[in-house]
Structure 1
Amino acid sequence: MRALILTALIASTAACTWVPIESGGKSVRVLPAGPVAPGCVAKGEIVVSVKSKVGFYNRNPLRVQEELETLARNEAPSAGANAIQASAPPADGSQRFSAWQCR
């Protein structure tokens, strides 16, 4: 019975998004991979991380990636950036983003 309750609890939290977008992050653009448009100035790097596992359960990789992007968007304004671009794919619940100030 305990195992059934634990499994149900993990399954119900696996679909949840735990990272809300903040007001400053709403205006931050996510740039596609590739060259950055002229007129964008590099503002540094943002490294973010979330839980990719809950106990023995691996969370949905797309959900983890969405949360990492949301965290990076939330951090961008404090770096003086209005755009972010993934520098590498997520690995073990962590990801690097380049921060940009674009016109």
Structure 2
Amino acid sequence: MRFLLISTLLLATTACTWVPIESSGKTVRVLAPGAVPAGCLTKGEVVVTVKSKVGFYNRNPLRVQEELETLARNEAPSAGANAVQAAAPPADGSQRFAAFQCPPR
């Protein structure tokens, strides 16, 4: 019974998204890795962090990456940016993003 309760709790935890998108972050796009589109100006970097581990349990890496992107989108407007691009892969729940001001699509 105890194992079932713990298993259910862990499954419920992995399904949760702990990072909501803010209204200002909804307008920020995530650029694909590679070359930056023409006309985009570099505005700096955004470094974000989420929990990648809960106790002894490693969270789903895709969920962690999704939350890191959401946090980067939420932070971009404070840097004067409307686009972010991963500058490095996630590591231990942290990721660095380049922030850009790009012309409207």
Q: Distance in 1 between matches of 2:94 and 2:55?
A: 17
1:56 and 2:56 aligned: yes
Supply the distance in 1 between the matched residues of 2:11 and 2:29 (Cα, whole angstroms): 31
Gaps of 5+ in 1: none
Of all paired residues, the percent bearing the same amino acid is 76
Runs (4+) off by over 4 Å: none
TM value normalised by structure 1:
0.94
Would the aligned equivalents of 1:10 and 1:54 in 2 still touch at CA under 8 Å? Answer: no
Q: In the alignment, what sits opposite 1:7?
A: 7
- Aligned-partner residue type, residue 66 of structure 1: E
Say whether residues 1:93 and 2:90 are aligned partners.
no
Gap regions ≥5 residues in structure 2: none
Which has the larger displacement, 66-75 or 34-43? 34-43
Query: Partner of 1:35 in structure 2?
Result: 35
Secondary structure, aligned partner of 1:7? helix
Deviations 1:37-78 (A, max 9, x none): 121110000000100111111111000000000000000000
Alignment-derived partner of residue 16 in structure 1: 16
Tell me, yes or no, if the aligned pair for 1:32 and 1:85 is still in contact at 8 Å.
Answer: yes
What is the CA distance between 1:3 and its match in structure 2?
4.2
TM-score w.r.t. length of structure 2: 0.93
The residue that corresponds to 2:75 in the other structure is: 75
What letter corresponds to residue 45 of structure 1 in structure 2? E
